[in-house]
Amino acid sequence: MAVRWGQITVREVASAIGGRIASGPSEAALSGLSTDSRTVTPGQVFLALKGEHYDGHDFLSAAVNGGVAGVIVETSTTIPQELTARTLAVITVPSTLEALGDLALWWRKQWAGTVVAITGSNGKSTTKEMAASILFLKANTKKSPGNYNNLIGLPLTILSLEGVHQVAVLEMGMNRPGEIKRLAQIADPQIGLITNIAQAHLEGLGNLQGVVEAKAELLEMMSGHSTAILNGDGEQYAELASRFKGRTITFGLGHTNEVRAENMRKVGDNVQAFDICLAEERVPVRLRLPGIHNVLNALGGAAIAYGLSLSKESIARGLEQFVPLKGRFQVTRLNGGIRIIDDTHNANPSSLGAALNTVQELRSGKQGLVVGLGEMLELGSEAPQLHRDAGRLIAGTGTRYLVALGEHGAQVVEGAWEGGMDKAQTHLATSHAEMIHALKAHVREHDIVFLKGSRMVSLDKVVDVMKEFFGVSEE
């Protein structure tokens, strides 16, 4: 690898981002890059990002006191005199966000490994984790940490790549046109996977076709020597495939998919078994996550490994070693025979439908179902109707009691009434505490309690309180 922190100079960084060295030593070496003044270490360069609710330029003094060797600031910023008076490099750029992406692009061009990019409406994070679990077995793999899937997180992940890394598995999120295009430009992936297309981020994309166009930006930015991995069962498969001229691998449940699942069967609350078919080969797998949607996520991860020529044995072992992420349909048994399902990581209409299908698969006999639904964010003008549809969907499962929380919670309960639920079976909560109180009062022995909502609604707090209240079963 031609670049390494500790050897890169201020001049090289300024050149990579098209910046101007306003003051300070141009040949000083930089030990790393930070965008958080609270965690800077001596010798780093601090890049002052601007956001809707924050401005990194307000924390320049804190970064300097932390020992940084340089700062990257926007040209429009008035540089404090105490900065120019120190032996400190000051680089100015028109936009620090663009500069971060440009620096990552420069870094990427000098890194010789393989980049895998994953996007889609649902399942991105789980597919990323599953793919990484497989690839770890054969290659030194770097994956996007947490939700580092945007124009800040993805560049920071790339800038953490070192010569020892052989593969990078990067998640790409977006909520408006052009974001995936920029992320793909920075990452330059050799493999790009689109999990699925569904009604998500409609606030910035308008409608389902807008989602298709946004996700297709990944394919349009990939070279003809790259490999695209697409859900062959998806309604938009043909349109997406037409946007790419290189090698395409399909995954799904249909028999025409190159990577597919057969012989699916439930083993327990949190385990399902199936066979993965890789062209003409077959390998059995036990996955520690329920639901067909998670089978599809596993197939996506398997298709990535298959595209990189890993063996079927490695694919099976990597998937079986996969540990589910918090808030992704985690089933926990509580005292009194209660099962609580934590699916609070995120929510949109499609993921809600898939999750409810899996909940139904887990129910037995006349087992009661209690649902706590938090608001599904970023649905734009369609949000009221989509929340009303969600209420009707929940009613159709035979839910005994529903608690809704959020700005569009009223539409959820109205939809549930339209779907046949009595008003006494529903509650519109105005806070986490109110939702918790309602759930405590209505959950009975042997019930299934299903909680889901967009991440910003923070229903994981409700899950934690419910576990503490009822107690986790030791059985």
> What local confidence, expressed as pLDDT, does residue 212 receive?
86
**Distance between CA atoms of 207 and 205, rounded to whole angstroms?**
6
How confident is the model at residue 475, as a pLDDT?
A: 65
Q: Is residue 3 part of a domain?
A: no
pLDDT digits (tens, 9 = 90+) for 201-231: 666 677 878 888 889 999 999 998 999 999 9
CA 403 – CA 396 distance, rounded (Å)? 15
Domain containing 416: what range?
330-470
* Lowest-pLDDT choice from 5-14, 83-92, 216-225: 83-92
pLDDT at 221: 95
Residues 138 and 275 in one domain: yes
Model pLDDT for residues 284-298, shown as the tens digit of each residue: 999 999 989 999 999
Q: Report pLDDT for 211.
A: 83
Q: What is the pLDDT of residue 85?
A: 63
Does 105 map to a domain? no
Backbone angles phi and psi of 332, in degrees to 5: -125, 130
CATH number at residue 54: 3.40.1390.10
Alpha helical stretches, state H, 243-339: 292-307, 312-321
Mean pLDDT of 345-353: 91
Q: Do 115 and 88 reside in the same domain of the chain?
A: no
* Range in 154-163, 199-208, 215-224, 455-464 the model is least confident about: 199-208
Sign of the four-CA dihedral 375, 381, 384, 385: negative
Query: Largest alpha-carbon pair distance within the chain?
Result: 75
Number of domains in the chain: 3
* Percent residues over pLDDT 90 in the chain: 80
190 and 304 part of one domain = yes
Regarding whether 336 and 287 lie in a shared domain, the answer is: no
440 in the same domain as 342: yes
The pLDDT score that the predictor gives to residue 181 is 97
**CATH number for the domain that contains residue 434:** 3.90.190.20
Domain stops at, among 293, 321, 349: 321
Cα–Cα distance, 344 to 465 (Å, whole number): 14
Which of 445, 415, 444, 446 has its CA nearest to residue 428?
Answer: 415
